Structure formats: C-alpha cells, structure tokens
C-alpha cells in the first residue's frame, strides 16, 4: 500500500507515492535520480549514504522515505551554490581528499555537520566527527587535511 | 617553458565530478526497462545440493525468469581461472552450484524481477534441499591424509605444491651460530572496496551487441572472457567500467554474477542489473591473504643471515579465482626480501578449504612475504640482542643490479640502505630509543617497529596506449589500464603534456570502455604507471615522429634541422622559422604531406620486459596500554622508493591508503570462520576496518631509484604502503612488549589478544608483574 510523501530536497519540493518500505536513500537515488548519494553497506556502518535532514547528518539507508515526510533534505548535489563549490568540496579537491570517490559525498555531508557544530575543529575532533564514515582509499590523512582546509576558508569568509 | 608536469603536485582532474555527486558508477546506470537480479546463496560451507526449485520464486509478483545450476551449465561451463601450472589441480567452479556447495555464499539460483525488492523477495523463495557435510576450514588440517575432501574428484586437498631452492640451505643451518624459528599466521582479510560489485548487461538483438557495465578493474579481459564463455565474437561484446569505487584486487575476477546477468540479458532482450549487497560482498567476493607460514632463519653472531627456510601453507578457499594459483608464488619469490640471503628453501602448499576463494588483495602475496622476512629479521635481532636497524643494514643487497635473488627474481635497481637511513632520520630513531627506555621506567610501553620491504610490480604481458592530436591541437589519450581511484586521468595527462608540450588541461584521458579503447589489460598489481604509462609515453614518441615529418614539410627543411621546444617546431639557427604543434596538427587533417599519411595519432603496446621492484622502509611507533591491551599508533614514517614519481600528490595518496590497509591487518581486521565454515565476521558490524580515529597523520617521503626497465623509470606505488605497514606495526608492538618476554602474537593485535599475552607472560614470569602493572600514564 503506497503512501504519499512530500519532501523538500535541495530546495525543491518533491511529492511522490512510495512503498512504505522504500529507504530514503533509494528514494533519492531511484525516484529523484540523485545518484550522488551512495550505498556502501547494509548495516549503517559506512556512511556513504549520509545526507542532511533538517541540517542533521543522517544515514539515509537507515531511514524510510515515509519517515522523512515533510523534511528538508540536502544531498551532495545541493551543496554547491550558484555554480560555486562549497569550501568542503574545494577542500577535498585541493588536498586530494578522495581517490575512488565513492565515500566522498557521505564524507563531505558528515563534515558539513561537523563544521556547523565546531567551526574550528582540532584534528582529533575531525577524526571523531567522521568516525561514522568509512574510506578504504585515503587512510583519512588527506580527508583530515581537506576538512581543515574547508574550516579555514569558512572562518575567513565569516571574518570578512 | 613552464616547469615539467611530471613530478608536479597537480590536483586531480577526475575530482570535479566526484565531489559534486555527478560521477557515474555502475549502480547509477539504469537503462529503460531494466530488470533486477538477485541470487539465492548457500547457507552451508559444504553440502550435497539435492534439489533447487525455483517454482515459487517464479510465481512471485514481478518475477520474469530464474536460473539454476544444471541449466546454466549447459550454457557456460565454469567461472574462469587464467593461471595454469604443471600439476595444478583445477576443479570447475560452476556459475551456479550443481550437486554440491563448497562455501557459504556460493550461488545456487538466480532470479530476475521488475524491481530490486521483488527480486530479493523472490530469491528468498527459492526452495533448496541440502544434506550438510563436514566442512574443512583449517588449511593445515585439510592437508592431513584422512581429511574430508573439498573436491571429491581429487585424492586430497593439496591444490598445488612447489619447491624453490638455492644454494646449500642445509649446510647453512648446520653451520649457523643461531637458528630462529617462528610460525606466523597471515590471517584472511576482506578487500572491502567501499563500492560493492555490480553489473548491468544489455543486449541489442538487432545489432547483436552485448553491452556490459561492470565494476571491473580490467574491462578488456572481462570482455574477452565473457565473449569466450558465451560463445560470442569479441567484437559483439562491449564492456564499460565507468567510475569504479575502489577494487584492491577484488574486482579483477570474472564473477558468476557477470556471467548470469549476460545470460539473462541475452535470453530476455532486456537490461539486467545486479548490485551486490555488502553482506554478499563479504561472502561472494574474493578474500585476501590466509596463509600459515613457517619460517626458519640461520644467522651468524653478528646478525648476518646465511640461510632461510620458508614453508607457506596458503588457504585458497573452495575454488580458483582468476589469478588465485599465482598469488602465493610471490610470497615464495620475495621471501628473502631485500636481503642477500644465498641459501634458501621455499615450499609452497596451496590448499582447498570450504571457504570463499582467495585471490589478489592489495599486495597479493607480497605483504605475506614482507611479513615473513621482516618479522624474522626482528626475531634474529631479538635473539642476538642487536638493533633491528643494524641487522637490516648488515644484510641488504648491495648490488650490482640486476641482482638475481635466491627466490628466482631479478631485481632491477635498489638502494635499500638509503631508504632505511632516511626513514630512521625522519623518525629520530636514536632519540626514540632513548625515549623508549625512559618511558619504560615510568611503566609506559612504547615500541618502535621497522619494515624494509620489497615489492614486485609491472606485471605484463603488455599495455596499450594511444595518443591523438586533433585538428585544433587538443590531445586525447586512450589507455588500456582501468584506474578506479588511482588518478591516471591526471598523471597520464602529465606524461603527455611534457612529451607534446601542451598544457595538462589540453589532454583528455579516456579509459574503461572497450569500444573506445581498442585493447588493454587493466589496472592491478601496481602496473598502471610502469606499464600503461610507458605505453602512453611510447605513443607520444610516435606522434612526435610524425609531427616532425609534417613540420619539416611545412618549414621546407629536413627533419634533422628541426627542434621541438615549448610546443613549437623551429629551424635550428633560424628560430623565427617555426610552426606550432597546433598548426602541424591542422595540416595533418587538411593537407597531405608527402611520405606521411593523414592524421596525427599513434598507438603503442608496451611489453614489460621484466618485473620492477619498488622498496622502502617504514617506521611505526606504538604505545601499548598493558592494562587494556590497546595499541595506539602514535607515529608513522614511510620512506618509499617507486623510481620516478609522476605526481607526488597522488603517489602520497596511494601510500596513505596502503598504510591504512596494512595497519588494518596488523591491528584490526580478520575474516573469521567457525568450524562449521560459517563466516562469523560477515558484516561491517563484525569486521573492523580502520576509521578516521584509528589512525594518525602519516609522514611520507620518497627516495628515487629509477628502474632501467621502462622509459619512465617508474616502478609502482599502489601496494607499497600495505606491504610495508603490516610488519612495521607488528614489529613495533612486539618491541613494546619485549619487557614482558613476549616474542610473537598472531595478527590482528586486538586489545584482547595483547591483553591475554600480557596476562600469560605475567603468569609465567611473576617477577615481571611489578613492572607492567605498577604505574602508567599519570594514574
């Protein structure tokens, strides 16, 4: 028995009739075609599916689309504004914070929330803040650098 | 002229799509009318499969078709393994099990339905009747004469045996001042690329073309294999490896799911898609490592090693994967490390068990070799109370190169001592040793571990590279390698930019599509730069040769009176008479040139004449908490030598990731089977890979010893970190635990294992108790 859901995704209102068992991540990927959000595991460990729900980083493989009814969602596709990359996106690029790129969207979304909460995080705080996101390529070294890079840029912008 | 692109830290050209969520992975490919495939898999490690019935599954809503083993066997005989050795026992790996299952997760039936969830539902409705049999999970027990056999058609489970001997090993051991022996378990690992495997197969009946999107590391080999298996001409099969989310060796194999998706697509005339669940990935994708190694070292009092005996028992699982039989041969080949050990005996037993097949996982046989020899060198140092750095220095191969090793390898070039010295200096080794003493007196247990590893890469047989300069002077490069995170869209553009003297931005590198790239081998074994990059370089030389002809025509001077600099062909002594590469390219497509055909493009096949051997020294510093057994990695210094480096930024990235996986094996990871053959670490909840909090920042540096075996002088850096890291970390932990009299603990060095070892040492040596438990960290 399908249910009607209305969400605001990357600033656009979406209304669809979905199966109650449809996971939010498959709603984003297969109903909306936002394939930047990835699925890397089936037990909520890897964090590749991380999106922002009402500004909070959530694993979209662990929430049903119907549970997100009425929510505001931001995915990796909605991060750049007016064709300008988010400082986290440039940070990951500048610091070589990605290799295969599969974990990257989730990693960036998790880092978004981290910098929201702690604008000037220590290395330990970055590592702790990303503990729910796994990367098998980078050893996290340049991911830490990327987040530090973004934190610097965001602070500079604020101070201006 | 701007600085050369090769050697520059150029940020990656593949990143803009990946950081904006606009990459294109296999799961993102969904042609109109796509059907979804799901598999029913064996819950038993070993059983007679008496019945598979798909009747109920077929009646499930949305289900379109189903297949079982006997039916598939009529079409495709078995999953391919391309390695052949004399006397190799080579059982068939059926695409879907027939009569018997041999590991948990082996596929027994496949269904396709109109949506993913329906397919999964239907797979669970496949009726099976198993008669469970005794499972063989321990490779040493599997070798015993009366062991249950994994394959009834063979008289035992010994899949292959080899003996490698050099010098007079028995005399060396008889005359040795000291003999050190150790049994080492190199545990089974899960490769765990963050993207699981997946495939989409689409058949276009009117043209007869089968298009396959796959998470492959080697699409051209997959194309050839699928064509052969399905009885199609190769020119009717196109394989596309789009963005691929990591592989680490696990995406080399041709897997049953790729074959099944093609069979369904051919039969149904509709696209068929399968995306592996992580749970399936744990059971159904190849595993890595899994050896029990016995090492014996003969040494003189001064630490000079005179003989080495290694017995490798390699658990290969239930069947052979694509390259499986060859993996452990590298362990034997590199068992003597970068040391001049003249007398050597290496025995290799490859053994079938009722477990997931083992194949290439980052390092593939070389990390095992490094672990054997680097642990052994440390044990010699411990036995003789010598500094482990000194023992390494005493035994390094000093040349001349090429150097023939006792393991049968021909080392190309190396300066092992330089890498060691640089690593020790960076780590402040001597200071660290004094610091360690001071800390011990305060009840803190710090350990310093070294690993001077050797690596083997540039596996052939060849690689293809093609370079085309279009009429506007822009360059397109085709490579038969298939990068999936390594960054060759950037590094190959750097090679070409220097050769043709154009900007890196003007070079587009294409890969991964067999309809675009005419031929290729693929990306694995750290071969991409050394072999694939050399092919691209050689193609550039051919393009330049032709460009000189055209320039000579345009400027009306013989070629030998021309120079090529800053993207311009100029007449020697008359530099104002010049023509740009762009002009030459335009001429190549618009006006004929005597003695040269139209167009400006060339392709080259680079044959790898022999392997190349990167090396380096890694230093790990750990602190062990004796009360909890927890190991904290506090510092990590890596000095690697991969010959000439194309892009230090991406090369460092490879080292970082490699170290993380090596540390993972040392401290955290283990694929554990129970006695009945169940994989008990079958999800990411049970199998720990390093997270950000588990690792420090790494200090990396390179020494540069180019190889003479390819025109780039480049060796390979993809696996070096993994090879170096595992023994460095384990040696560090053992060094930390030396005051407890602990000599060795098998990996992973989890808090529990370390804590237990400390407890047992305390029981055995009560006098020691005071030391460890007295005072620690401010308490």
| Residue ranges of domains in chain A | 3-78, 87-159
Say whether both B158 and B209 belong to one domain: no
Both B652 and B732 in a single domain?
yes
Query: Counting one residue from A and one from B, how many pairs have CB atoms under 8 Å apart?
Result: 176
Distance from CA of A70 to the nearest CA of B (A): 24
**pLDDT reading at B436 higher than 70:** yes
Is A102 in contact with B194 (Cβ distance < 8 A)? yes
Of residues B288, B358, B278, the one with CA closest to residue B685: B278
Please indicate, yes or no, whether residues B244 and B311 belong to a single structural domain of this protein: no
Residue B200: pLDDT over 80:
yes
Domain assignment present for residue B408? The answer is: no
Contact A96 B689 (CB under 8 A): no
Lowest mean pLDDT among B210-219, B239-248, B587-596, B715-724: B587-596
Cβ distance B19 to A108 less than 8 Å, yes or no, reads yes
Judged against a pLDDT cut of 80, whether residue A160 lies above it is answered with no
Q: pLDDT digits over B623-673, tens only? A: 999 999 999 999 999 999 999 999 999 999 999 999 999 999 999 999 999
Question: Closest chain B residue to A101 measured between Cα atoms?
Answer: B18
Provide the pairing of β-strand B343-352 with A72-74.
Answer: unpaired
CATH code assigned to A3-78:
3.10.20.30
Q: How far does the CA of residue A158 sit from the closest CA of chain B (Å)?
A: 23
Residues in chain B with CB shorter than 8 Å from the CB of A126 are: 692
pLDDT in tens, B667-691: 999 999 999 999 999 999 999 999 9
- Predicted confidence at residue B772, as pLDDT, reads 42
Which strands, in side-by-side order, build the sheet including B288-299? B158-166, B343-352, B305-317, B288-299, B178-189
**Which residue range is the domain that position B717 belongs to?**
423-446+615-779
Provide the shortest C-alpha distance from residue A116 to chain B (in Å).
19
Q: Hey, which residues 438-467 in chain B have their CB within 8 Å of chain A?
A: none
Question: Do B109 and B40 touch, CB atoms closer than 8 A?
Answer: yes
Q: Is B11 at the interface with chain A, CB within 8 A?
A: yes
In chain B, positions 640-669, which contact chain A (CB-CB < 8 Å)?
649-650, 652-653, 656-661
Residues 151 through 170 of chain B touching chain A, CB cutoff 8 Å? none
Sign of the CA dihedral running B136, B139, B140, B142: positive
| Average pLDDT of the residues in B717-730 | 98
Going by C-alpha positions, the residue among B708, B618, B711 that lies closest to residue B6 is: B711
Give domain status of residue B504, yes or no: yes
Question: Cis peptide leading into B402, omega within 30 of 0?
Answer: yes
Question: Which pLDDT does position B763 carry in this prediction?
Answer: 75
Sort out which chain A residues have CB atoms less than 8 A from B658's CB and list them: 139
Q: Which residue among A39, A42, A138 places its CB closest to the CB of B653?
A: A138
Interface check for B115 against chain A (CB to CB < 8 A): the answer is no
SS3 B96: coil
Closest CA of chain B from A24, distance in Å: 14
Query: Is residue B478 very low, low, confident or very high in pLDDT (cuts 50, 70, 90)?
Result: very high
Looking at every residue in chain B, the average pLDDT score rounds to: 96
- For residues B57 and B157, membership in a common domain is answered with no
Asked if pLDDT for residue B425 goes beyond 70, the answer is yes
Q: In this prediction, what percent of chain B has a pLDDT beyond 90?
A: 96
Q: Tell me the nearest-neighbour CA distance from A83 into chain B, angstroms.
A: 10
**CA nearest B215 in A: which residue?**
A100
| CB < 8 Å from A in window 664-683 of B | 683
Query: Which SS3 state, helix, strand or coil, does residue B627 take?
Result: coil
CB contact under 8 A, A134 and B194: yes
Domain end among B377, B395, B413: B395
Task: With CB atoms and an 8 Å threshold, state whether A138 touches B195.
Answer: no
Cα B58 to its chain centre, rounded Å, is 40
Least confident of B11-15, B356-360, B571-575, B759-763: B759-763
ipTM score assigned to the predicted complex: 0.98
* Nearest neighbour of A42 by CB, restricted to B18, B25, B277: B277
Residues of chain B in contact with residue A134, where contact means CB-CB under 8 angstroms, are 194, 684, 689, 691
Q: Are residues B539 and B641 in the same domain?
A: no
Same domain, B694 and B762: yes
Residue B260 phi/psi, 5° resolution? -65, -45
Nearest to A103 among B22, B194, B275 (CB): B194
Tell me which chain A residues have a C-beta less than 8 angstroms from the C-beta of B361. none
Q: Quick one: pLDDT at residue A78?
A: 97
Q: Which of A139, A145, A149 to mutate to test the interface with B (most CBs of B within 10 A)?
A: A139
Task: Output the CA–CA distances (angstroms, integers) from residue B693 to A9, A47, A101, B689, B690, in the order listed.
Answer: 31, 15, 20, 11, 8
Q: What DSSP element (H or E) covers B308?
A: strand B305-317
Q: Which residues on chain A are in Cβ contact (under 8 Å) with B685?
A: 43, 45
Q: Which of B18, B194, B693 sits opposite A135 (nearest CB)?
A: B194
The answer to whether the CB atoms of B657 and A139 lie below 8 A apart is: yes
Residue B535 · residue B495 · CB < 8 Å: no
Contact (Cβ atoms closer than 8 angstroms) between residue B714 and residue B707: yes
Q: Render pLDDT for B574-620 as a digit per residue (tens, 0 to 9).
A: 989 999 999 999 999 998 888 889 999 999 999 988 999 999 999 99
Averaged over A69-81, what is the pLDDT? 97
Do the chains contact at A138 and B660, CB–CB below 8 Å? yes
> In chain A, whose CA is at the least distance from the CA of B243?
A100
B279 → chain A, closest CA residue? A42
Q: What is the pLDDT of residue B777?
A: 38
Cβ contacts of B277 on chain A, cutoff 8 Å? 42
The helix/strand/coil state of B397 is coil
Record: contact B18-A80, CB cut-off 8 A: no
Q: Out of B30, B116, B689, name the one closest to residue A136 (CB).
A: B689
Confidence of residue B765 (pLDDT cuts 50, 70, 90): low
Euclidean distance between the first and the last CA atom of chain A, given in angstroms as a whole number: 53
Pick among B8, B13, B14, B20 to test the A interface (most A CBs inside 10 A): B20
Is B409 within a domain? no
Compute the nearest-CA separation of B258 from chain A (Å).
19
Residue among B634, B612, B614 nearest B623 (CA): B634
% of chain B with per-residue pLDDT over 70: 98
Q: How many helices (H) and strands (E) does chain B have?
A: 21, 28
Q: Model confidence at B775, in pLDDT bands (50, 70, 90)?
A: very low
- Give the pLDDT score at B2: 66
pLDDT reading at B290 higher than 70: yes
Q: Is B661 in Cβ contact with A134 (below 8 Å)?
A: no
How large is the greatest C-alpha to C-alpha distance in chain B, in angstroms?
Answer: 92
Q: How far is B698 from chain A (nearest CA, A)?
A: 7
| A74 three-state secondary structure | strand
Q: Which residue has the tokens 């070589």?
A: A96
User: B30: which chain A residues are within 8 Å (Cβ-Cβ)?
Assistant: 30
Dihedral over alpha carbons B481, B484, B487, B488 (to 10 degrees): 10
Class of the A87-159 domain? mainly alpha
If asked whether residues B142 and B125 sit together in one domain, one would say no
Backbone phi and psi for residue B3, each to the nearest 5 degrees, phi listed first: -60, 150
Mean of the per-residue pLDDT values of chain A: 97
**Cβ A42–B194 below 8 Å, yes or no?**
no
- The answer to whether the Cβ–Cβ distance between A141 and B698 falls below 8 Å is yes
Chain B residue whose CA is closest to A42: B278
Q: Is the pLDDT of residue B1 over 60?
A: no
pLDDT at position B594: 87
B269 in the same domain as B298: no
Summarised one tens digit per residue, pLDDT across range B525-550 is 999 999 999 999 999 999 999 999 99
* Number of domains within chain B: 4
What average pLDDT score do residues A103-130 get? 98
Residue B776, pLDDT > 50, answer: no
pLDDT in tens, B492-527: 999 999 999 999 999 999 999 999 999 999 999 999
Does residue B141 share a domain with residue B124? no
Q: Are residues B114 and B216 in the same domain?
A: yes
Residue A73's nearest CA partner among A90, A100, A54 is A54
Residue B770: pLDDT above 80?
A: no
Distance of CA B244 to the CA centre of its chain: 15
pLDDT band at B294 (very low <50, low <70, confident <90, very high): very high
Whether the predicted pLDDT of B328 surpasses 90? yes
pLDDT of residue B412: 98
B668 found inside a domain: yes
B209 shares a domain with B81: yes
Whether B281 is covered by a domain: the verdict is no
Residues B172 and B208 in one domain: no
Please report, for the domain that includes residue B599, its CATH number: 3.30.365.10
Q: Is B438's pLDDT higher than 70? A: yes
**B120 CB within 8 Å of a chain A CB:** no
């Amino acid at each position: 028995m399908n249910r009607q859901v209305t969400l605001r995704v990357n600033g656009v209102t979406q209304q669809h009739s979905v199966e109650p068992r449809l996971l939010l991540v498959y709603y984003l990927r297969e109903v909306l075609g936002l394939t930047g959000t990835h699925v890397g595991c089936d037990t909520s460990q890897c964090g590749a599916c991380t999106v922002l729900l009402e500004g909070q980083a959530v694993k979209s493989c662990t929430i049903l689309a119907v549970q997100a009814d009425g929510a505001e969602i931001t995915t990796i596709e909605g991060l750049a504004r007016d064709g300008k990359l988010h400082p986290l996106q440039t940070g990951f690029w500048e610091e070589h914070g990605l290799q295969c790129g599969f974990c990257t969207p989730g990693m960036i979304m998790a880092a978004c929330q981290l910098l929201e909460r702690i604008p000037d995080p220590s290395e330990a705080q970055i590592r702790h803040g990303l503990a729910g996101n796994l990367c098998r390529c980078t050893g996290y070294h340049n991911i830490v650098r990327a987040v530090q890079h973004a934190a610097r840029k965001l602070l500079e912008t604020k101070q201006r | 002229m701007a600085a050369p692109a090769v050697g520059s830290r150029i940020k990656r050209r593949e990143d803009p799509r990946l950081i904006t969520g606009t990459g294109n992975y296999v799961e993102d490919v969904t042609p109109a009318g796509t059907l979804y495939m799901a598999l029913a898999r064996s819950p038993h490690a070993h059983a007679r499969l008496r019945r598979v019935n798909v009747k109920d599954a077929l009646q499930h809503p949305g289900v379109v078709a189903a297949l079982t083993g006997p039916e598939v066997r009529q079409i495709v005989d078995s999953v391919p393994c391309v390695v052949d050795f004399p006397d190799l026992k080579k059982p068939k790996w059926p695409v879907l099990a027939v009569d018997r299952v041999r590991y948990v997760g082996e596929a027994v039936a496949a269904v396709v339905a109109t949506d993913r969830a329906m397919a999964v539902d239907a797979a669970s409705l496949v009726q099976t009747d198993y008669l469970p049999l005794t499972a063989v999970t321990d490779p040493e027990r599997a070798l015993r004469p009366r062991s249950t056999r994994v394959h009834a058609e063979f008289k035992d489970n010994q899949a292959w045996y080899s003996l490698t001997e050099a010098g007079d090993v028995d005399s060396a051991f008889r005359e040795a001042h000291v003999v050190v022996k150790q049994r080492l378990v190199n545990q089974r690992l899960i490769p765990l690329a963050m993207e699981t495997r997946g495939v989409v197969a689409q058949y276009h009946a009117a043209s007869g073309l089968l298009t396959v999107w796959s998470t492959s590391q080697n699409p051209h080999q997959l194309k050839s294999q699928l064509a052969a298996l399905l009885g199609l001409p190769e020119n009717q099969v196109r394989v596309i490896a789009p963005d691929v989310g990591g592989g680490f060796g696990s995406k080399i194999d041709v897997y049953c799911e790729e074959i099944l998706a093609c069979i369904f697509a051919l039969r149904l005339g509709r696209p068929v898609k399968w995306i592996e669940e992580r749970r399936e990935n744990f059971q159904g994708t190849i595993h890595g490592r899994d050896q029990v190694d016995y090492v014996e070292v003969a040494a003189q009092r001064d630490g000079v090693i005179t003989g080495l005996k290694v017995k490798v028992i390699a658990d290969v699982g239930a069947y052979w994967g694509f390259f499986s039989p060859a993996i452990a041969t590298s362990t034997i080949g590199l068992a003597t490390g970068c040391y001049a050990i003249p007398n050597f005996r290496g025995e290799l037993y490859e053994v079938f068990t009722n477990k997931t097949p083992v194949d290439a996982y980052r390092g593939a046989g070389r990390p095992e070799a490094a672990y054997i020899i680097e642990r052994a060198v440390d044990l010699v140092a411990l036995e003789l109370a010598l500094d482990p750095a000194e023992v390494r220095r005493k035994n390094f191969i000093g040349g001349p190169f090429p150097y023939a090793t006792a393991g049968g390898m021909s080392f190309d070039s190396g300066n092992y001592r330089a890498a060691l010295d640089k690593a020790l200096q960076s780590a402040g080794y001597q200071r660290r040793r004094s610091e360690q003493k001071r800390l011990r007196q305060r009840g803190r247990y710090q350990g310093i571990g070294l690993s001077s590893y050797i690596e083997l890469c540039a596996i052939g047989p060849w690689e293809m590279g093609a370079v085309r300069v279009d009429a506007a002077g822009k360059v397109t490069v085709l490579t038969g390698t298939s990068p999936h995170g390594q960054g060759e869209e950037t590094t190959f553009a750097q090679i070409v930019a220097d050769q043709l003297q154009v900007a890196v931005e003007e070079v587009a590198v294409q890969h991964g599509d067999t309809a675009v790239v005419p031929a290729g081998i693929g990306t694995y074994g750290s071969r991409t730069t050394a072999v694939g990059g050399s092919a691209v370089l050689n193609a550039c030389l051919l393009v330049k040769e032709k460009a000189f002809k055209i320039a000579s025509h345009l400027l009306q001077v013989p070629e030998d009176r021309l120079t090529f600099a800053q993207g311009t062909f100029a007449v020697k002594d008359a530099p104002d008479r010049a023509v740009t590469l762009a002009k030459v390219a335009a001429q190549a497509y618009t006006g004929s040139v005597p003695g040269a055909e139209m167009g400006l493009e060339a392709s080259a096949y680079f044959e790898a004449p022999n392997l190349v051997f990167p090396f380096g020294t890694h230093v790990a510093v750990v602190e062990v908490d004796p009360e909890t057994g927890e190991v904290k990695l506090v510092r990590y210094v890596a000095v690697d030598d991969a010959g000439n480096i194309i892009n230090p930024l991406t090369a460092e990235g490879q080292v970082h990731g490699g170290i993380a996986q090596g540390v993972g094996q040392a401290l955290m990871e283990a694929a554990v089977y129970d006695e009945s053959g169940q994989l008990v670490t079958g999800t990411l909840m049970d199998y720990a890979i390093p997270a950000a909090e588990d690792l420090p920042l790494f200090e990396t540096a390179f020494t540069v010893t180019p190889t003479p075996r390819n025109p780039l002088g480049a060796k390979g850096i993809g696996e070096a970190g993994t090879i170096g890291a595992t023994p460095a970390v384990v040696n560090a932990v053992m060094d930390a635990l030396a005051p407890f009299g602990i000599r060795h603990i098998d990996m992973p060095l989890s808090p529990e294992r370390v804590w237990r070892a400390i407890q047992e040492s305390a029981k055995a040596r009560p006098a020691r108790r005071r030391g460890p438990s007295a005072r620690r960290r401010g308490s």
